[in-house]
Amino acid sequence: MLDWFSSLPFALQAFIATCFTWGVTALGASLVIFFKKINKNVMDAMLGFAAGVMIAASFWSLLSPGIEMAENLNLNSSLVAVIGFLFGGSLLFVGDKIFDIFNKKVKNKSNNNFKRSLMLIFSITLHNIPEGLAVGVAFGSLAYGLEGATLSSSLMLALGIGLQNFPEGTAVSVPLRREGYSRAKSFFYGQLSGFVEPISALIGALLVIKVQYLLPYFLCFAAGAMIYVVVQELIPESQSNKKKNLMALFTLIGFSIMMFLDVSFG
């Protein structure tokens, strides 16, 4: 199975990998159909684990290969890393600020459940775009044989993003159910938030394959976007658990597993 997958074009590999992350989003959204209450400990542990995986992937699968490729292309690797990383994080920061403004306007209106629900869906969807790009760039970079850019590290990156997509799907579907949406509609909109990942992954993979000089920037951009998501959402949410020490341990476990795979197979 792995041999068949590795023989596919890199863009198709990225697309299939993010179809998996989309599927995990749908799985998380489906909890609204089967369960009335979701165990917070399990959800927070998954978020903590995904945070560790994504932190490790940001360096070994994205930043390190990006710096190496910048050097091979005779670019200023330090400048490329800083520009790409800061731009990736800043884009999500600006997006969060815009949504904060919209959310304040929505909360000031009494009968605006639809707009509030729409903002929830859109905000989760926005965060999924750079995650899809990150996977696409990781698989696209395999075309250049960079150190640290391996099939196993790219697959683990997709796995880490998929794990953190599970509670995101639930985070959309459950509040929609509370707003009075049917279970079917709540599930539909919950899984829809992950639909952008295969699309953005395909775009990211095709861009870095066709335009080689963009790859170092894209790799560092994806790393910055992922670190922002980890710091802004995943870790704070997992640490809101009463057993926050245990949640921190799951973050260390996720980081260690990803680090081991990247160092061993990189």
Closest to 216 in 3D by CA, of 79, 121, 102, 112? 79
Indicate whether 3 belongs to any domain: no
Indicate whether 1 belongs to any domain: no
Indicate whether 94 belongs to any domain: yes
Which structural domain, as residue segments, surrounds residue 15? 9-30+39-265
Count of domains forming the chain: 1
Q: What is the pLDDT along the chain (266 residues), one digit of tens a residue?
A: 667 888 888 888 899 999 999 999 899 889 888 766 667 787 788 778 878 877 887 888 778 888 988 898 889 999 999 999 999 888 878 877 776 776 666 555 544 555 556 655 665 676 677 778 878 888 888 877 766 667 887 888 888 788 777 877 876 786 677 667 788 888 998 888 788 899 988 888 888 777 778 778 888 887 888 888 888 877 888 888 888 899 999 999 989 987 886 677 55
Indicate whether 4 belongs to any domain: no
One-character DSSP codes across 136-186:
HHHHHGGGGT-TT--HHHHHHHHHHHHHHHHHHHHHHHHHHHHTT--HHHH
HSE of 203 in the Cβ direction (CA atoms, 13 Å)? Answer: 11
